[in-house]
Amino acid sequence: STANFIEADGTAHAVDVPDGENLKQAAIDNLVPGIIGDCGGFAECGTCHGYVDEAYVDRLPAPSEDERLMLEGILAPVEANSRLTCQIPMTPQLDGIVVRLPEVQH
Ligand code: FES
């Protein structure tokens, strides 16, 4: 399936993601700038944050307690569609998902 990452400056990256792989890992593997993922994908660093396009938000698993707590601590504005991309495994239903990246990942 395909995930589309849009950097804060508008640069778009379309990335192939195997089903079951999380979006953070796919972004790292494809050298997408704007995703850092310091903790390796355990919802412990908050540096894989992105804004998921509204059309896909309802198809995602609900955020875990760990994810919600981590999102409270990040610098970028947190919106209703803010998610940690390491907590989003690709599924066929998410094909074409669009994730806009914040200017900062801390
Ligand atoms: Fe650390 Fe996602 S990679 S929270």
CATH 3.10.20.30 is held by the domain 2-100? yes
47 lines ligand 1 (CB under 6 A): yes
Amino acid at 52: V
Q: What is the mean pLDDT of each run of 10 residues along the chain (106 residues)?
A: 98 98 98 96 97 97 96 94 98 98 91
Biggest alpha carbon–alpha carbon distance for the chain: 32
Residue 34, sorted as left (phi over 0), alpha (psi -120 to 50) or beta, turns out to be left
**Count of C-beta atoms within a 10 Å radius of residue 9:** 9
pLDDT at 33: 95
* 3-state secondary structure at position 18: coil
Q: Which atom of ligand 1 is nearest to the CA of 37?
A: 3
**Count of C-beta atoms within a 10 Å radius of residue 47:** 20
pLDDT at 106: 75
The answer, as to whether pTM is greater than 0.80, is yes
| Extents of the domains making up the chain | 2-100
**CA 98 to centroid of ligand 1, rounded, Å:** 18
pLDDT at 87: 98
